[in-house]
Structure 1
Amino acid sequence: MTILRTTRPIVLAAQLLGCGLGAFFDGILLHQILQWHNMLSSVRPPQDLVAMKYNMLWDGVFHAFAWLVTVLGVAALWSAARRPQVRLSSSAFGGGLLLGWGLFNAVEGLVDHQLLGLHHVHPGELEQAWDMGFVVWGLAMAVAGFLLVQRAEAPRTVAVSVGR
């Protein structure tokens, strides 16, 4: 008996994890460590304590989203790993991580920075360059992830012997 083994559940789980980890990276590095922006710093600049608390609240909502997506990714990975028809593949997992993180950056950059104007990556004279660089970085990660996933999803079969 020959069964087709698939990597798709691993890729989906990795995309969720990549999205969540990308959001955490953004929030921890850009919001907290570098303090370049907050979630709504273009809408309500954090120039006084009330505005700072407002921005911290929305940063917390953003981190809650990141946490939820990451937990969903862990649950999806756990479920996928327990299914015998799922082929565990480093290329599929790594590609899915890059794809999820890259799509997060691209979508967040286009929607939050450009469309809604909620904040900019690094406000100032070069904010548009920083914003577009963030989107390009995300798209490059997504393309690299897509290529890794394509390589991993090349059809493979495995022979399974059935007991007598």
Structure 2
Amino acid sequence: MEPGRSVLAGTLIGVGMMAAVDEIVFHQLLAWHHFYDRSTPEIGLFSDGLLHAAQLVFLVAGFFLLAELRHRQRLGARRAWSGFFLGAGGFQVFDGVINHKVLRVHQVRYDVENLLPYDLAWISAGVLLILLGVLLMARSPSRRRRQ
């Protein structure tokens, strides 16, 4: 088993999947925001395209690494799942704290009186995913226990 590479594969897939959910649900279906909302709508749409391209790169890289590990029978499945939740939650928390609050490139939603419930829900969801990833990591077998 290659635990570090298994976590990496899952993390790449988790980041890519959460970016896809964010883009599809919040950028396209609900139209709450674009990746970059501090310019024209055209720039906002262009920034969404860049996010989509990056998300695809993360997904493809993660799945190629996962397939390679599985082919060589070196995949640590629980570690990969742990990485998935760590990556998804990490993306969510980074987006909520850095993009929304520090850099202010966009907010979760516009045209609402109080952003706090949206921010709390957004960041809390990410923290819960990270906690799930940590729990899975703690419950995965280590090499020391198997030797």
1:14 aligns with 2:10: yes
Which residue matches 1:48?
none
User: For the pair shown, which has the larger CA radius of gyration, 1 or 2?
Assistant: 1
Aligned to 1:98: 85
Pick from 45, 48, 55 the counterpart of residue 59 of structure 1. 48
Find the aligned partners of 1:153 and 1:33 in 2 and give their Cα distance: 40
Aligned to 1:145: 133
Q: Which runs of 5+ in 1 are unaligned?
A: 45-50, 159-164
Q: TM-score, normalised by structure 1?
A: 0.80
Query: In structure 1, what is the Cα distance between the partners aligned to 2:10 and 2:131?
Result: 15
The answer to whether the 8 Å contact 2:8/2:83 transfers is yes
Larger helix fraction of residues: 2
Cα distance in 1 for residues equivalent to 2:62 and 2:95: 19
Match of 1:26 in 2: 22
Percent of pairs with identical residues: 28
Cα shift at 1:87: 4.4
Tell me the number of residue pairs that the alignment of Structure 1 and Structure 2 aligns. 145
4+ long deviations beyond 3 Å: 153-158
Shift of 1:11: 1.6
Partner residue, 1:81: 70
RMSD: 1.8
Correspondence for 1:47 = none
CA contact (8 A) 2:9 2:83 kept: yes
SS at match of 1:131: helix
d(CA) in 1 for partners of 2:141, 2:113: 44
Deviation per residue, 1:83-126 (Å, 9 max, x gap): 34x2442x323222111100000111111100011111122212
Per-residue Cα deviation, 1:109-162 (whole angstroms, up to 9, x for no partner): 11110001111112221223312321121011011111102211333538xxxx
Q: Answer yes or no: is the 8 Å Cα contact 1:6–1:153 preserved in 2.
A: no
CA distance in 1 between counterparts of 2:120 and 2:102 reads 12
User: 1: CA distance between counterparts of 2:114 and 2:62?
Assistant: 35
Whole-angstrom CA distance in 1 between matches of 2:2 and 2:42: 47
> Are 1:19 and 1:97, in contact at CA under 8 Å, matched by a contact in 2?
yes
Q: Which protein has greater RCO, CA pairs closer than 8 Å, 6+ apart?
A: 1
Following the alignment from structure 2 to structure 1, what is the Cα–Cα distance between the partners of residues 41 and 2?
Answer: 48
Distance 1:71 1:87, change over 3 A: closer
